[in-house]
Amino acid sequence: ARPRVGYFYSGKKNADLFGETLRKLKVKDYKSVPIVITEKNSVYDAIVTMFMEDVGSLIVVRDQMLQGIVSRKDLLKVAIGGGDIHQIPVNLAMTRVPHVVTVEPDEALYEAAVKMVHHEVDSLPVVRPDAEGGGMEVVGRVSKTTIARAFVELGQYREV
Amino acid sequence: ARPRVGYFYSGKKNADLFGETLRKLKVKDYKSVPIVITEKNSVYDAIVTMFMEDVGSLIVVRDQMLQGIVSRKDLLKVAIGGGDIHQIPVNLAMTRVPHVVTVEPDEALYEAAVKMVHHEVDSLPVVRPDAEGGGMEVVGRVSKTTIARAFVELGQYREV
């Protein structure tokens, strides 16, 4: 909490520098393309899309606006439930807004990791609040895979 | 690559210290308890265990020795395949040794993250090679959740 005037060696321990460096990473620099599906699609469609795109969750949208999120776990639950997965719409299996945990592009990747660990979810839609409609526009996704990739990238820094 | 004699400020950039700090974390200090199932269990048993334990994959063992690993994705594939999941044994759905990617307790957590990103898997059994039998004893697991938790922990370091 002291004022920073350029870069200088302040006597901080490695761990302090570490935390500071890590908390500077932004969601917008690490997010990936959102894999979306509409709420009218069936659970079967969702499972097929999930395998084709090889992701662990799909973001459910209407006109690019966030409606919900559906995970492998949600779909597995329905798949063993005995119903006809071709007939059941994905919106019966998904977690629905406002219960979806989201993150915005300017938030720290650290905050995204905190949210995933705290809420025990594997991915978050990256959203931008829509001033007019009051909804949330989906602009990306981050997942625990995103965090693992950032972790690897940071671990690759070596003395040069 | 210069010799280190105790701790001193060596003019390294933050990023160097960062990478160094990160690569020092060991698997043994972050691993969690392995959630296991035997190969004689059915796919249905595996799905139930997965929900009860709330994990994304189960390690398949015989007498604590690694036989394979089965993920939500593997089980979802079988569940929509149309067979009787009560009759299909889990060893028909699992990835089998020697195709399972593993990590040892003394390896760096960084290496575990590299393996998960590179092989596109969400978790790794932590194993100890068994000198006598030539197999691998399962002593824990690490997952992308483990990496996310470590990421959060490291981001919490603050100047004191």
Mean pLDDT of B32-37: 96
A40 pLDDT band, cuts 50/70/90, is very high
Partner-chain residue, chosen from A16, A149, A159, that has the shortest CB–CB distance to B12 = A159
Residue A130 has pLDDT above 90, yes or no: no
Rounded to whole angstroms, how far apart are CA atoms B23 and B19?
6
In chain A, the residue whose alpha carbon lies closest to the alpha carbon of B85 is A80
Contacts with A46 (C-beta within 8 Å, 6 or more apart), sequence order: A37, A58, A70, A75, A90, A93
Q: Do A17 and B18 touch (CB under 8 A)?
A: yes
B133 pLDDT band, cuts 50/70/90, is confident
**Phi/psi of residue A66, nearest 5 degrees:** -65, 125
A/B interface, count of CB pairs below 8 Å: 144
Buried b (16+ CB within 10 A) or exposed e, B66-87: bbbbbbbbbbbebbbeeeebee
Q: Do A76 and B75 touch (CB under 8 A)?
A: yes
Chain B hits for A85, Cβ within 8 Å? 80
A133 pLDDT band, cuts 50/70/90, is confident
Q: Is the ipTM of this complex over 0.85?
A: yes
Token pair for A156: 């690759």
- Residue-range domains of chain A with CATH: 25-155 (3.10.580.10)
Assess A114–B contact: CB distance below 8 Å, yes or no.
Answer: yes
HSE (side-chain half, CA atoms, 13 Å) at A23: 15
> Which pLDDT belongs to residue B158?
63
Chain B hits for A153, Cβ within 8 Å? none
Dihedral (Cα; B68, A82, A43, B146), 10-degree rounding: -30
Mean pLDDT of B48-72: 95
> Which pLDDT belongs to residue B20?
82
**Taking CA A118 as the corner, what is the angle to CA A141 and CA A123, rounded to the nearest 5 degrees?**
20
